[in-house]
Structure formats: C-alpha cells, structure tokens
C-alpha cells in the first residue's frame, strides 16, 4: 500500500499539490529503539506511520522521561515539525518502539499545502486536537491519580498494544513511560504480584487478574 | 474600539463572512469571579477578550483545581468551543478574575468560517499551538519542578499581571492555581517570609526580594 492510502486527505488535494507532496516525501525504515526526532532546533518533518510503533515523550534536564502518546500505523505526528507553526514552542522526542516504517513529509512542503488548502489546515487542527486531548488526559492522570492506578492503566494499554497479556517490558522502561524511578516501579509491581494481579519474570510482566487491574484503573 | 480591531483576521474575511460573524457575535460583561464556561456538554463558543482577565483551569472529581492559562485582552480561547473540533475531547472551566468584557463567537459560525477559509483555519492552528505550548510548559513544571520554584514563578507572573509587587491574592487562591492544598501554600509562603523574600498580610502577598524569587524560579 502506498502513501495515498495512508494520507486521508489525498483526494482533497489538487493534482499539482499531490505531485508536490509525492516529490518531497521520504520513506524510512528504522530498527526498534532508534531515535527519530529530538533535540532543540530540530525540525525533522511530519511523520506518517506505515507500520510499527513509535513513542513521543519529553525529557527533563536531568534525564527523566515521560511518554506523551504512541504513534501507530496511519497516525500523523505534527510535533516533529514544530518549526511549521510559529506558536509551537516546545520540544518532544520520538523513538521507535518496534521496527517501524514511516514517511517523512518536509515541514516546508506541508506548510505550503496548509496555507493554500482549508481542508489540509482543518485536518491539521483535528490532529493537533487529538494530541492535545492525549496530553490533557495524561496531565489529569499525573495531577489527580495515584501511581498505582496509572500503572494499572499503563499495563492494560500496553497489553492491548502488544496484543497479549504477557507483556515484554522492563521495570525501567515502565518507569520511563510513567516518569518514575525504576525502584518505585519495582516496588509497585511486586505489590501487584503479591496481590496476584500480575506475574513478574525477567523483562516481562504477565497480567493474571485483568479484572482487578481494570477496577483499579477506573 | 470594535470587534474588527480585536480580531486579527478581519481583513482576510470576505464581506459576506464579515457580515455573518457580526450578526452572530454577542458582547458580554461579567463581574469578577463569574463562571463563564464549564461542565460536560457545554459549548459556549469562542471567547475573544476585550478587557479584563479570565482564567482557564481544570477541575478534578474531588474539586481540586489547577490553572492552565490566563486570557488577557485580544486573547482568543478555543476550548470553550470544543464541540467545534471533533477530536477535542476534554473539558476546561473558565472564570473571570477581574470584571471583564468579551465577545462570544458561536461555534457553528466559527466552524463554517474555518471550513471555507484556509486563513481562519491556520489562525486557529496557531491559537491551539499557543495553548498547547502553555499546557506543555505547565506539565513540565508539574513533573520536574519542585513546588517552591513553581510558587516563585507564580508570584512573579501574578505581580506582572496585577502590575504591582503588592499582590492581592489569598493562600487558597494560590493553591487553586498550582493544584495544591491551602495548608501547603501557607507553609511555603511562611518559609518565603522567614527568608525575607515576601511579606504576608490578609489577602495579600508582597514581594520584598524580587531577585531571590527570580533566582529560585530559574
């Protein structure tokens, strides 16, 4: 399948617009754990995912991380092209969580399209609103929810993403997603194990009582 | 001064578009402390501030608040019209912090403009990016910055907004802005007072050592 089928606005573009975007596009393939975007004055371009999974996160000065949202096939990421919008004044990092294939749309090409097409501009608005909703949800979690509830939510989400209840992930990686130290994660996971909700093994967390986690995450 | 001078896109609209927006507009005047927007299925419309000051915040289930951003003259707020964008799935509250005068643009009117005009759609993108930047800044503060640094930042910002170093605000209100209980605020403010950085009085916080607060907020 080609770009045309992944980019929902394709049929709303004029032929010259379609040609411009086709000419500017680049397809990239990256192994698990590759840094795709990050750092201050970086303006990689828009990322449209063909296959695999990517993670958008922020990084504190002392190296702590927290996951903002995931990018799955057909997802478009704007914030890897923040130079495209004058008012976008923050930096995120993006890395692959699996081997991934994705297109990069150069920021200048996309910006020009947005300026001449109300359809592209409104689509961009909807994408930004989706990311905004994710981030607001995350902020409410951080502000009002205790870490055990957040861990339960995360494990359920991760099981859905990996398509199985036997999740392949380290305590350290969970800590990076939730913005907490590994030690705190290990302590909480052991508590979950004592309660019989999960079973821990090296590099794996297996959900054994899904109903309890769902109840806690509520 | 009229709406035309406050709405930066006025000259990019066609005459029929200008007439539609003029016909749909409402001008409102509200006292300090009025609830302008909030609650679940609410879609008040876009708010364009003429004078005064408003506050956008979120509310937890158990009634705790945190300030997201302030709206000053010429600021436009999109999230009081979240029904306008399908992907915007979160709710904020808005109240006046001073007596304020503002226009309400009905969501349907604005949405129609956005769909036919790339200029309006791109302007909306920039506004959303501005709010997004504010919220990301706030999230980084909450995640990585200790409360004393956040309090110092808040007092300096508040002094700038009120145009004087003798700030009129209660400990409880500061707690609402920062998402912390009043008791915690009082304890921190007393510590600031002992250090000689502020002077406390009923309903007031006076900054006495601005340089120290600036250093802490850095």
**H-run or E-run covering B177:** helix B171-178
How far is B63 from B39, CA to CA, in rounded Å?
A: 13
Name which of B58, B122, B133 is nearest A90 (Cβ-Cβ).
B133
**Distance, C-alpha B132 to centroid of its chain:** 12
Average pLDDT over residues B18-27: 95
Helix, strand or coil, per DSSP, at residue B24: helix
Q: Are residues B151 and B186 in the same domain?
A: yes
Residues of B in contact with A62 (CB under 8 A): 144
Average pLDDT over residues B113-123: 95
Domain boundary, last residue among B143, B159, B177? B143
Q: Are residues A38 and A106 in the same domain?
A: yes
CATH, residue A62: 2.60.120.10
Q: Provide the pLDDT for residue B8.
A: 92
Residues of B in contact with A127 (CB under 8 A): 87
Q: Provide the pLDDT for residue A174.
A: 94
| DSSP code, position B30 | E
Q: Are residues B68 and B111 in the same domain?
A: yes
- Note the ipTM here: 0.81
Which B residues 106-125 touch A at CB under 8 Å?
114-118, 120-122, 124-125
The sign of the dihedral angle between the CA atoms of A5, A96, A207, A201 is positive
Tens-of-pLDDT digits for all 218 residues of chain A?
699 999 999 999 999 999 999 999 999 999 999 999 986 657 899 999 999 999 999 988 777 888 999 999 999 999 999 888 888 888 899 999 999 999 999 999 999 999 999 999 999 999 999 999 999 988 888 888 888 999 999 999 999 999 999 999 999 999 989 988 888 889 889 989 988 999 999 999 999 999 999 999 88
Q: Provide the pLDDT for residue B41.
A: 59
Q: Provide the pLDDT for residue A39.
A: 67
Q: Are residues B98 and B149 in the same domain?
A: no
pTM: 0.82
How far is A205 from A198, CA to CA, in rounded Å?
A: 7
Q: Provide the pLDDT for residue B63.
A: 79
Q: Are residues A62 and A138 in the same domain?
A: yes
How far is B3 from B204, CA to CA, in rounded Å?
A: 35
How far is B52 from B71, CA to CA, in rounded Å?
A: 9
Compute the mean pLDDT over every residue in chain B, rounded to the nearest whole number.
Answer: 91
**Least confident span in A53-57, A72-76, B111-115, B188-192:** B188-192
Q: Tens digit of pLDDT for each residue in B119-171?
A: 999 999 999 999 999 999 888 888 888 889 999 999 999 999 999 999 999 99
Name which of B62, B89, B136 is nearest A90 (Cβ-Cβ).
B136
Domain boundary, last residue among B143, B168, B196? B143
Distance from CA of B107 to the nearest CA of A (A): 15
With a cut of 80, say whether residue B103 has pLDDT above it: yes
With a cut of 90, say whether residue B82 has pLDDT above it: no
Token pair 């608005």: residue: A125
Q: Are residues A122 and A160 in the same domain?
A: no
Nearest chain A residue to B132, by CA: A132
Q: Are residues B104 and B188 in the same domain?
A: no
**Distance, C-alpha A23 to centroid of its chain:** 27
The DSSP-derived string for A69-88 is EEE-TT-EESGGGGGGSTT-
Residues of A in contact with B139 (CB under 8 A): 58, 135, 138-139, 142
Domain that holds residue A27: 3-142
Q: Are residues A81 and A159 in the same domain?
A: no
With a cut of 90, say whether residue B90 has pLDDT above it: no
Q: Provide the pLDDT for residue A16.
A: 96
Question: By the CB < 8 Å criterion, does B146 face chain A?
Answer: no
Q: Are residues A44 and A118 in the same domain?
A: yes
């Amino acid at each position: 399948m080609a770009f045309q089928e992944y980019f929902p606005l394709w049929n709303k573009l004029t032929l010259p617009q379609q040609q411009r975007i086709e000419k500017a596009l680049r397809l990239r393939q990256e192994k698990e754990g590759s840094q795709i975007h990050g750092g201050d004055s970086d303006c990689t371009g828009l990322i449209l995912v063909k296959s695999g999974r990517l993670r958008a996160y922020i990084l504190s000065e002392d190296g702590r991380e927290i996951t903002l949202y995931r990018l799955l096939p057909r997802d478009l990421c704007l914030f890897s092209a923040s130079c495209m919008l004058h008012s976008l004044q923050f930096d995120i990092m993006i890395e692959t969580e699996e081997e991934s294939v994705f297109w990069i749309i150069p920021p200048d090409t996309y910006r020009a399209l947005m300026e001449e097409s109300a359809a592209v501009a409104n689509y961009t608005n909807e994408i930004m609103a989706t990311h905004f909703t994710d981030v607001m949800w995350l902020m409410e979690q951080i502000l009002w929810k205790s870490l055990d509830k957040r861990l339960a939510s995360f494990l359920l989400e991760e099981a859905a993403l990996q398509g199985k209840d036997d999740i392949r992930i380290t305590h350290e990686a969970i800590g990076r997603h939730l913005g907490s130290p590994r030690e705190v994660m290990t302590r909480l996971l052991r508590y979950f194990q004592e309660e019989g909700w999960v079973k821990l093994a090296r590099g794996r967390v297996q959900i054994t009582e899904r109903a309890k986690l769902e109840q806690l995450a509520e």
